[in-house]
Every structure is written in structure tokens, then in C-alpha cells.
Amino acid sequence: MSEKLALITGASAGIGREFARILASKGLDLLIVARREARLLALKAELEQKYAITVHCLAIDLAAEGVEQQISDKVREIGTPLGWLVNNAGYGITGRLDETALSEYERFLKIMLTGPVALTQLLLPDLKKAAPAHIINVASVAAFLPGTPGAGVYPACKAFIKSYTETLAGELRNSQVYATASCPGMTKTEIFDVMPESADVEKMKQRPGMSAAVVAQQAVNAVESGKVVIVHGLVNKIIAAIFSLMPLRLSMYIVAKAYPLEEN
């Protein structure tokens, strides 16, 4: 058994899978969480074969009621001190706010916003006990931009996660528990493959993106060095810096021009 455990949500693909590979290479046992059990088991076999670690799988829907308590109970059942919490699970939705079902938004907010907060709240005592420990919350460069027309509540969720992580890091500054908001831009993952087909989604698929492995490694490096927010990639850093300084009216005008909507 390793000295510490890393919990990673959304570990079946993309950035989450790369977090699992990186933390496994550090000799950490893993608890990997996602809906797709077959993928979790395949990743478990890969990592246990390559590294002298134990990988625990929890196939569960993160939108389900009480799921955060189930995950925290699993952490305590495993018994290995929790040294890493990676709130990575997420997906994207598109469409106008007035054309999206409330039930779809409720599910989205549970996975993207209230879920990570609840899981962090439940597991903070474990992380403090295992300190030094690390929390990575995956946000987005969208957190620095005004809400993009047609992007639903995605930018708002990511802005919240960034701000929440900053607050968390400030409150934990004397605890040896370090929190970082990872803010990637376009990344080569499966996120667009599971979204409903549309012209906007097809455009996004064509844009160049960073490697998921690079994003995950940079996020791990950032939290280990005590960095509270990391924006991945030079272009994204420039975009975040410019929009942070720009008057809101001008930034909203630029975004509206970049993402025009058809009138109803």
C-alpha cells in the first residue's frame, strides 16, 4: 500500500486519465471515479501493471443525490491517507439559456459546481490530516471571459470554480494543504464527442488544442509549487490577461462578435 491516496473524478478519459497516470507514476494509490466502469477497469489494469500501486475504481454518476458522501465513505473505507483531490469531472453544453431545459442545467450544475464544493468540504479534514496535501480544481480560461453567447452556464461555472479555489487557497494558507485552479483552453479530449451535434460544436472540434497530458502535468507542477491559479498555454495566458484588464462593455462586444447568434 502506498503512503497516500489520490482521488480523481472524471478519470475515464481526457485530462482526468492523464492526472491518474501522472499521480500513479509518483507512487500514489488511486481512487478513480467516473460513470464508465469498463474504462476505469482498463485504466486500473494499465497503471497497476506499470507501477507498484493499487487502483480503486468507483463507477458512479456524479449527478446522483448523495454521491459525494458515497465517495468520501469510499475514501475512508480504503483507509490510505488522502493526499490528493482532483476535481476534474466535467462536460460541455451549448444552446441559448432560454432554450435549454432546467433539468439539464440542474444536472450540469451538480457535476460542475456544487459537486466539487461538496466533495472538497467533506474531504478537507482528511486532506488536513494527511498534509502536505493537494487539491486541483479544473476550471477554464473561460473563467476570465464574459459569458459566451450560446455556451450556457459553462463560463459561469468555471468562473465560480476559479474564485472558489482562490478563497480555498487563502483559507488553507497555514495548513500545508495547497489548492490550485487549473485553467486550460482548448484541449484535445473527448468533450466535444459527447455533446449534441451542432455547427458550433463542429467549429470547436476543428480548433487546435493542447495535449491533455501537458495540461495535467502543468497543473500538478503548479499545485506542488504553491501556485493558486494556472492558465495553460501562452495564447491563453495573453487572452486571460487582456480580458482581465478590459472594460466589461468592450469585452462583451468582442465576445459577441466572435460568437454571433441567430435571432429567434
Point out the catalytic residue in the list 44, 51, 110, 154. 154
pLDDT at 95: 82
Q: What is the DSSP letter of 98?
A: G
Q: Is 10 left (phi over 0), alpha (psi -120 to 50) or beta?
A: left
**Alpha carbon distance 9, 197 (integer Å):** 25
* Residue 253 appears among annotated catalytic residues: no
Res 196 pLDDT > 70? no
Express each pLDDT in 10-52 by its tens digit: 999 999 999 999 999 999 999 999 999 999 999 999 999 999 9
45 Cβ neighbours under 8 A, 6+ residues apart: none
Res 119 pLDDT > 60? yes
Express each pLDDT in 172-181 by its tens digit: 999 999 999 9
Query: How would you classify the pairing of strands 29-34 and 55-59?
Result: parallel
Decide: residue 44, CB within 10 A, 0-12 exposed, 13-18 middle, 19+ buried.
Answer: buried
Res 1 pLDDT > 80? no
**Alpha carbon distance 17, 30 (integer Å):** 11
For the record, the C-alpha cell of 214 comes out as: 501537458
pLDDT at 197: 53
All structural domains of the chain with their residue ranges: 5-258
Q: What is the rounded average pLDDT of the residues 136-146?
A: 95
**Alpha carbon distance 153, 247 (integer Å):** 21
Q: What is the rounded average pLDDT of the residues 242-262?
A: 85
**Alpha carbon distance 233, 215 (integer Å):** 9
pLDDT at 74: 98
Q: What is the pTM of this model?
A: 0.89
* Residue 154 appears among annotated catalytic residues: yes
**Alpha carbon distance 244, 141 (integer Å):** 11
pLDDT at 72: 98
Q: What is the rounded average pLDDT of the residues 134-138?
A: 98
Per-residue pLDDT band for 93 (boundaries 50, 70, 90) equals confident
Give the H or E element holding residue 175.
Answer: none
Contacts from 93-100 at CB under 8 Å and sequence distance 24+?
Answer: 93/152, 93/153, 93/154, 93/195, 94/150, 94/151, 94/152, 94/195, 94/196, 94/198, 94/200, 94/201, 95/150, 95/152, 96/149, 96/150, 96/261, 97/152, 97/153, 100/152
Res 190 pLDDT > 80? no
Rounded percentage of the chain residues whose pLDDT exceeds 70: 90
pLDDT at 96: 83
177 Cβ neighbours under 8 A, 6+ residues apart: 124, 127, 128, 131, 132, 133, 134, 135
Res 201 pLDDT > 70? no
Express each pLDDT in 42-56 by its tens digit: 999 999 999 999 999
Res 111 pLDDT > 70? yes
Res 264 pLDDT > 80? no
Express each pLDDT in 53-92 by its tens digit: 999 999 999 999 999 999 999 999 999 999 999 999 999 8
- Mean pLDDT of the residues in the chain: 91
**Alpha carbon distance 116, 122 (integer Å):** 10
pLDDT at 199: 46
**Alpha carbon distance 161, 70 (integer Å):** 22
**Alpha carbon distance 111, 144 (integer Å):** 21
Per-residue pLDDT band for 206 (boundaries 50, 70, 90) equals low
Fold that domain 5-258 belongs to in CATH: Rossmann fold (3.40.50)
Point out the catalytic residue in the list 4, 158, 164, 178. 158
